[in-house]
Amino acid sequence: MYADAMMAVTGGQFMLCSYEDIGQQRRGQTVLRQFVARPEEIYPLRAFLDTFLAGRGVALGRRYEVEFAAVEALTNSVKYAGGGKLEIRTDKALQIELADSGPGINFSMLPRSVLMLGFSTKGTLGFGFTIMLEFADHLYLATGPAGTTIILEFNWS
């Protein structure tokens, strides 16, 4: 029920998936795979992403949007789950996937966590999902006690 409602509210941009179903959203050739565990590892990944996108002719403004969303996802993974596996893929779109083995997002809080600007259970600003949804063309999320997997998808055109 949450999945359909959240997809409808976001115009199909957000998709809540099972752990099994999120694998069906993976597309493209892997260009980077790395485990990220510490905050100081985030900036070099942002720099890699900027160089990679510039090499593909992506405009500066769009590069900043992609990087901003990616940094939010990376920061959440490090802050709330002690880090996670990052995979960047490219094909007809750019995909940035983060998978961690943290406690997951409390299911009863999920709609507010994703859709409500400023909502936080941890005393933070609560802008993470808002930023990711603002800039990503699609956001796929699987979360539960085994961890959280998020795929941010950015169309090339």
Domain boundaries, the chain: 2-155
pTM: 0.89
pLDDT 10s digits, 21-33: 999 999 999 999 9
Q: Looking at residues 74-101, what average pLDDT do you find?
A: 95
- Tell me the C-alpha distance between 157 and 111, whole Å: 29
Q: How open is the CA angle 75-29-39, to the nearest 5 degrees?
A: 15
CATH of 2-155, one of 3.40.309.10, 3.40.50.2300, 3.30.565.10, 2.60.40.10: 3.30.565.10
pLDDT 10s digits, 34-85: 999 999 999 999 999 999 999 999 999 999 999 999 999 999 899 889 999 9
